[in-house]
């Protein structure tokens, strides 16, 4: 058996050394600087909202998916305000949801 010569003291020392080395290694480092949206991005958000409202009124599902995909894509810049500890997870989730909706809107337009 490999652990035959080890005592409990050795395991405790190993755990302390592991805790010292790897405590902050896996945590993502988020920058304190928040990205401000440019004038062009605000204009794009406004156009996406208008397209979303128009697609709801005219029952245009692909345009609705397209505008929601863009709005979700822009929402990823504000994930650090929702939850600082899960910001990276939320950002990747919103990116994947946005890409899925975008691809789905293109597929629906082709059908």
Say if residues 74 and 99 touch (Cβ distance below 8 Å): no
Where are the extended beta strands (E) located within 1-111?
A: none
DSSP 8-state secondary structure symbol assigned to residue 61:
H
**In a domain? residue 5:** no
pLDDT for residue 22: 61
Q: What is the pLDDT of residue 29?
A: 52
Give the pLDDT confidence score for residue 103 in this predicted structure: 92
Which of 85, 91, 95 has the alpha carbon at shortest distance from 28?
85
CA atoms within 13 A on the CB side of 17: 6
Domain assignment present for residue 72? The answer is yes
For the chain, list residues with pLDDT below 70.
Answer: 1-11, 21-35
In a domain, 13, yes or no: no
Q: What is the pLDDT of residue 1?
A: 47
Give the structural domain span for 79.
38-111
- What pLDDT score does 78 carry? 77
User: How many structural domains are present in the chain?
Assistant: 1
pLDDT, position 30:
52
Both tokens assigned to 56: 């709801």
């Amino acid at each position: 058996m490999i652990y035959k010569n080890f005592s409990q003291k050795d395991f405790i020392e190993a755990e302390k050394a592991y805790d010292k080395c790897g405590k902050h290694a896996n945590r993502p480092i988020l920058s304190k600087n928040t990205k401000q949206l440019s004038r062009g991005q605000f204009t794009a958000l406004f156009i996406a909202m208008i397209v979303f409202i128009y697609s709801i009124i005219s029952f245009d599902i692909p345009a609705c998916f397209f505008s929601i995909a863009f709005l979700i894509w822009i929402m990823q810049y504000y994930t650090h305000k929702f939850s600082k500890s899960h910001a990276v997870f939320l950002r990747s989730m919103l990116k994947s949801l946005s890409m899925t909706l975008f691809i789905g809107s293109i597929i629906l337009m082709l059908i």
